[in-house]
Amino acid sequence: MPKTPISPISPISPISSRLKTPPTITPFFKLPNIGVYRFKGLGTPPELIVSSTGGVLNKNDTTAIQTYEAALDVVKYYNSSFNRDSYDNKHSDVRIVIGYEDAPGRPLNNAYWNSDDKTLYFGDGDGKLFSPLGTARDVVAHEFGHAVIGSEVKLTYTGESGGIHESVADIFATGVDHNLQIGEDVFTPGIKGDAIRDLNNLTFKTVELLKASEYRDEPHATGEVLSQAAVLASRSLNDSKGEGGLDKIRNIWYTAISDNLKNHSGFAGFRQATESAALKMYGPEARQSIDDAFKAVGI
Ligand SMILES: [Zn+2]
């Protein structure tokens, strides 16, 4: 059953409220406000269903409640992993619209970050290709990742730079549910074991395969080459959590996009940005792992 109302956002334990003297330790992170709205048609303002400050306004909308819970996990994940305060690192509200339709009565089988109105949009899916997309933590983490990347660097959403956007969003998303599948909980609800993308089983594993295909400029396809490099590099980096170095890869990738990457960078620029981040964070062996991985995929 959904929790009603949503627990207060202050991370101070309830016990502290019974203390006469206020606790001297101040919380290091106060979560940004999250609001989940339901789409009501084009030209009509969406209806607020759940928010951090107002709780649940319609307990029958379980999709909205599950989306709120997923978004809460995602915001906490980006903070605990990367010390990031909301998508822009400026504590901005996280605004989410669910139930989006691309035509009246036709539920969207997709999700996206709109950088113009700073809103995450999730379709409820048609029930065959997708169930409600916002309920999947890795899908929310992927779209939130686009928002993070977009607030750090201006990457054209096409070809190689579009691929950086897609791949980095996927790599970030793998950390929220600790597996290499993206969207497995909402993709084809009638079929078990599949996913939107499986980073263990990519189609475009090298630049050569990509160039030979008709998808050579499509960001999801170009991104697969980078994701293949990330997975290869993660395998040669040791990691205490048994994740094959993916924790390190995510940290390196995050530093690369937030400190090193230049606007409109392509694959070569991304390689440079990740290699210098790896050297600084984990030393020459880590840099070498990344270098080998990029070579192996033809970058
Ligand atoms: Zn994407």
- Rounded to the nearest angstrom, the distance between the alpha carbon of 169 and the centre of ligand 1 is 6
- Rounded to the nearest angstrom, the distance between the alpha carbon of 219 and the centre of ligand 1 is 8
Residue 102 confidence class, pLDDT cut points 50, 70, 90: confident
Residue 26: partners with Cβ closer than 8 Å, 6 or more residues away = none
- pLDDT tens across 243-286, in order? 569 999 999 999 999 998 999 899 999 999 999 999 999 999 99
**CA contacts within 13 A on the Cβ side of 157:** 11
- Rounded to the nearest angstrom, the distance between the alpha carbon of 142 and the centre of ligand 1 is 6
How far apart are the C-alpha atoms of 108 and 122, rounded to whole Å? 7
- pLDDT tens across 121-162, in order? 999 999 999 999 999 999 999 999 999 999 999 999 999 999
DSSP one-letter code for 86: S
Domains and CATH numbers, the chain: 33-152 (3.10.170.10), 154-299 (1.10.390.10)
How far apart are the C-alpha atoms of 67 and 184, rounded to whole Å? 16
How far apart are the C-alpha atoms of 71 and 166, rounded to whole Å? 19
At 19 the pLDDT is 46
This prediction's pTM: 0.89
Residues with CB under 5 A from ligand 1 (ion): 166, 169
- Rounded to the nearest angstrom, the distance between the alpha carbon of 51 and the centre of ligand 1 is 25
